[in-house]
Amino acid sequence: MESLTHLLGGLGAHLLPGNMLAMVIGLVLGMLVAVLPGLTLVMGVVLALPFTYKMGVEPALILLTAMYVSGTYAGAITSILFRIPGEPMDVPLLWDGYAMTRRGEAAKALGWSLAGAFIGGLISALLMVAMAKPVAHLALRFSSPEFFAVVFFGLASVVALSGGTVVNALISLCLGLFLATIGVDTIYGAERFAFGQPFLLDGIEFLLVMVGAYGIGEVLSRLNTGFKSEGSAEGGQNRFKTSLPSIREMWRIKWTFMRGTATGIVVGVVPGAGATVSAFVAYGLESQYGKNGKALGSGVPEGIVAAKSAATASVGGALVPLLTMGIPGSGATAIILAAFLLHGIQPGPQVFVNSPGLVNVIFAAVFVSLVGMCILGYFAIKPLCKVLDAPEAIVSAFVVLFCFVGAFAARNNLSDLYVIAFFGAVGFLFDKYRFPIAPMVLGTILGPLAESNFMTTMVSFDNDWTVLFTRPISGAVMALAIFGLIFPILKALFPRLRRLRPAARV
């Protein structure tokens, strides 16, 4: 009852004109960045971040949260109608959604997608509200060893779940951690890796790394492969409508809704996993354990519902570690963490004590965004898909412009433009040679937090690093993190060892 009262108070804050305007802008921008060619949800949230500097903390977080929620749905529109995945999380929708479109059932496929997104998002939002306070109370008992273990687990999870080889992910993470050490040491005040450059004494802003690697890097990658000269929406205008499934139809596949939602929540809580991993895992589970699993890929609603309910449910799951421990659960929540820090607030258990009203506003923003997402998703398909007529080169030019304007606005420092250009080149090279960008970005963000907690632990426990393993909570978390790092390596080695055994016998 107390949680409901606080949630209603957060909903009341959305009636303020500034917060309401931020919500509407966030919903529209989230839809646009997921539909526009050349943009992704994470890139869109990165581009919006600099424009929240002059805003109050409430409207800034409402805007970014609304973008996060609505952006997890809009990419389904292009995947189902045009076989163009707006986001990596929408790739599973190609296998069943586009198959339904080719049978003339595009409106029904869009309806199943919207139903899956709303139900998955709603259940995860309710669990987010229920889980957040108990997790925060538990985190209040943490000391520096426990916080370091949690951060280490987050970094290890990013490596294990980032895709590609573990070696490439580790290299990306180590680069991010190195970038986090540049500047003046906060513990001893010593200069590190500044190389006599005054602008490096303040360190490398994680904002520049994010905007450069995701924004400029993505544009350079698309420039390298060649831009599309025109949109892909021609000939499909008559398909731009949504037909929602009936209650009886949804009840028939209720376990698909539940499996997808549960998968999204669980995977979303794991730092660094996010909506893409949730969607693929949920689709795989549905194909193995679903009643109609063998038919997945032929154009059945179960494939759409499993992937989309998991992707949207990951939002609530990813916000729990962000708000309770300051650990981003996805790429988008990493940018929301940046918004917290830029406004002088460190997410974690103390936020529930010092700024409970702000937490309730964020909780309420998720619920309001879900409703707004459904309204926009149902009524605004035509204008949203019309933007696909814009040439990709023009869209990319605006992306580059916003990247540089946002980077310069942060500190009015011309050197930041060179830094963002450098990390744009790094992002391009990472994409070309299949190095994941997420570990580098999260290493830059979480590196200072890991270092400060580790150094505090060493000072408090007489440089005894074994305390990280002898304390119950930190020891258990460290063991899970190490297992998460070793398991992918062992999984890759076992097939090779099996192939070598017959050769050794010969």
Summarize pLDDT for 431-476 with one digit per residue, the tens.
888 888 878 877 887 788 788 888 888 888 888 888 999 888 888 8
Alpha-carbon dihedral 247, 251, 253, 254, rounded to 10 degrees: 120
Residue 27 CA to residue 14 CA, distance in Å, equals 14
Could you tell me if 360 and 9 are in contact, meaning their C-beta atoms sit under 8 angstroms apart? yes
Residue 282 CA to residue 332 CA, distance in Å, equals 20
Residue 207 CA to residue 187 CA, distance in Å, equals 23
Could you tell me if 290 and 302 are in contact, meaning their C-beta atoms sit under 8 angstroms apart? yes
Could you tell me if 319 and 18 are in contact, meaning their C-beta atoms sit under 8 angstroms apart? no
483 has pLDDT over 60:
yes
Residue 92 CA to residue 75 CA, distance in Å, equals 11
Residue 219 CA to residue 223 CA, distance in Å, equals 6
Residue 237 has a pLDDT of 45
CB atoms within 10 A of CB 433: 9
Contacts 24+ apart (CB under 8 A), 455-460: 455/187, 456/144, 457/143, 457/144, 457/145, 457/148, 460/143, 460/144
**Which ranges constitute the DSSP H helices of 141-253?**
144-161, 166-181, 206-210, 217-225, 247-252
- Which amino acid belongs to residue 233? A
Query: 137-184, pLDDT tens digit by residue?
Result: 776 677 788 878 877 877 776 676 555 677 888 888 899 899 988 888
Coil/strand/helix, residue 183: strand
pTM of the model: 0.67
CB atoms within 10 A of CB 382: 11
- Which amino acid belongs to residue 274? G
Query: 303-360, pLDDT tens digit by residue?
Result: 888 888 888 888 888 888 888 877 776 777 878 888 888 888 878 777 777 777 788 8
Query: 10-22, pLDDT tens digit by residue?
Result: 677 777 888 889 8
Could you tell me if 324 and 136 are in contact, meaning their C-beta atoms sit under 8 angstroms apart? yes
Residue 478 CA to residue 466 CA, distance in Å, equals 11
Residue 495: burial class (beta carbons within 10 Å; 0-12, 13-18, 19+): exposed
What Rg, from alpha-carbon coordinates, does the chain have?
A: 23
Q: How confident is the model at residue 249 (pLDDT cuts 50, 70, 90)?
A: confident
**Which ranges constitute the DSSP H helices of 253-391?**
254-269, 274-289, 301-325, 331-342, 349-354, 356-379, 381-386
Could you tell me what percent of the chain has a pLDDT over 90?
A: 3
Query: 57-72, pLDDT tens digit by residue?
Result: 888 889 988 988 888 8
The pair of structure tokens assigned to 208 is 């520049």
Residue 40 CA to residue 251 CA, distance in Å, equals 33
Residue 183 CA to residue 191 CA, distance in Å, equals 6
Q: List beta partners, residue 183.
A: 192
Residue 232 has a pLDDT of 43
CB atoms within 10 A of CB 134: 10
Residue 326 is classified by DSSP as S
The rounded Cα 406 to chain-centroid distance in angstroms is 20
Q: Say which residue the tokens 């150094």 belong to.
A: 455
Residue 421 CA to residue 160 CA, distance in Å, equals 29
Helix H or strand E encompassing 503: helix 472-505
The pair of structure tokens assigned to 389 is 């007529």
Residue 463 is classified by DSSP as T
CB atoms within 10 A of CB 380: 17
Coil/strand/helix, residue 184: strand
Could you tell me if 48 and 229 are in contact, meaning their C-beta atoms sit under 8 angstroms apart? no
Residue 386 has a pLDDT of 61
Could you tell me if 438 and 206 are in contact, meaning their C-beta atoms sit under 8 angstroms apart? no
What average pLDDT does this structure show over 246-267?
Answer: 87
Residue 493 CA to residue 504 CA, distance in Å, equals 16
Three-state SS string over 301-324 comes to: HHHHHHHHHHHHHHHHHHHHHHHH
